[in-house]
Amino acid sequence: MRTVYLGTSDFAATVLERLAGSPHAPALVVTPPDSRQGRGRKVSPPPVAELASERGMELLQAASVNEEDALERIRAASPDAILVCAFGQLIKEPLLSLTELLNVHPSLLPRWRGAAPIERAIMARDPRTGVCVMRLTAGLDSGPVALRAEVELGEDEDYGELSPRLAALGGDLLVEALDLLADGTLAFTEQDEGEVTYAEKITGEERRLDPTQTAADLAAKVRALTPHIGAYLELEGGERLGVRKARAVHGTLAAGEVAVDEGGILVGTGEGALRLDVVQPAGGKPMPTDSYLRGHEPPKLAA
């Protein structure tokens, strides 16, 4: 099938790589303009733009896919289907009605509609998650679902491990959906609105690890935000200690109390203790906790 692909992130780039090697390789790839990224705020292209350039695909970087110039380029590509994955722009009419629009969404819809489905699934300690291919509609991830694939969410799996796994699965699922669409056999099922949950965008405040919460919840938050966002403990004086790997263990420390145990750092919580395995001091790089303790005093948490 002749396709146009709209995507931005690393996840979307992985899906595009699979699509590019299929009979449905896009005639046009659309992604946002270059922007400032990372700690150095260097102007860089989105991952999808980098991949499209490397593969010699026709590329359009548009601040708004709904502007007439972008719409003209998409129409000129004469797509049988427009494919959307982690694009980050709201798609409006008339683009919504131009042709079949398929969206790759990394959750088991209707669970975790919205901006941060992978993070929210990990934070909620869901036993399973997955990917859906759905029809894109005006509602927030509310369109009917064509295909879905489930995976077990590993007990210690973090975002950096789960996201590429789901992206690879999403690429395979999208190609399968296009094969069925080309045959005229792709069927859709409406979502159960009574089962909807929302994956709100991660806020800055949510990055802070609150010792009054349970150790299991805090460990899940660390996994959900590693490595792309990052969780932290607030220390005395306002400094932050990044926490890149941690696990819940049995412990009798009071919430917020810190102890050193066999080269590790234990933080008392509302239930159990959080053992810090990899931390990141302010301005430094992630390091094992025993290495951190060789150059730092045990951290003192803010009251």
pLDDT digits (tens, 9 = 90+) for 245-296: 999 999 899 999 999 988 789 999 999 999 999 999 999 999 999 999 999 9
Q: Among residues 241, 251, 249, 252, which one has the least CA distance to residue 292? A: 241
- Determine the average pLDDT of the residues in 76-84: 98
Whether residue 301 lies inside any domain: the answer is no
Q: Are residues 240 and 190 in the same domain?
A: no
Q: Are residues 218 and 190 in the same domain?
A: no
pLDDT tens-digit readout, 24-55 = 999 999 999 998 876 667 899 999 999 999 99
Q: Is 100 helix (H, G, I), strand (E, B) or coil?
A: strand
Question: What pLDDT sits at residue 258?
Answer: 97
Question: Of 199, 222, 240, at which residue does a domain stop?
Answer: 199
Whether residue 221 lies inside any domain: the answer is yes
Whether residue 280 lies inside any domain: the answer is yes
Whether residue 153 lies inside any domain: the answer is yes
For residues 230 and 212, give the distance between their C-alpha atoms in angstroms, rounded to a whole number: 19
Residue 74 sits in which domain range? Answer: 3-199
Residue spans of beta strands (DSSP E) within the chain: 3-7, 26-31, 35-37, 42-44, 59-61, 81-85, 100-105, 113-114, 128-135, 145-152, 198-199, 231-234, 240-249, 258-261, 264-268, 273-281, 287-288
Q: Are residues 110 and 232 in the same domain?
A: no
Question: Of 176, 199, 222, at which residue does a domain stop?
Answer: 199
Question: What pLDDT sits at residue 40?
Answer: 67
Whether residue 243 lies inside any domain: the answer is yes
Could you tell me the pTM of the whole model? Answer: 0.95
- Determine the average pLDDT of the residues in 170-177: 98
pLDDT tens-digit readout, 126-138 = 999 999 999 999 9
Q: Are residues 270 and 184 in the same domain?
A: no
CATH number of the domain at 286, please.
3.10.25.10
Question: Sorting pLDDT into bands at 50, 70 and 90, what band is 22?
Answer: very high
- Determine the average pLDDT of the residues in 86-101: 96
Domain count along the chain: 2
Q: Are residues 255 and 145 in the same domain?
A: no
Q: Are residues 210 and 153 in the same domain?
A: no
Q: Is 96 exposed, middle or buried (0-12, 13-18, 19+ CB in 10 A)?
A: middle
Average pLDDT, the chain: 96
Q: Are residues 78 and 145 in the same domain?
A: yes
For residues 189 and 90, give the distance between their C-alpha atoms in angstroms, rounded to a whole number: 23
Q: Is the pLDDT of residue 167 over 70?
A: yes
As a whole-number percent, the residues of the chain with pLDDT over 70 amount to 99
For residues 33 and 55, give the distance between their C-alpha atoms in angstroms, rounded to a whole number: 18
Q: Are residues 20 and 39 in the same domain?
A: yes
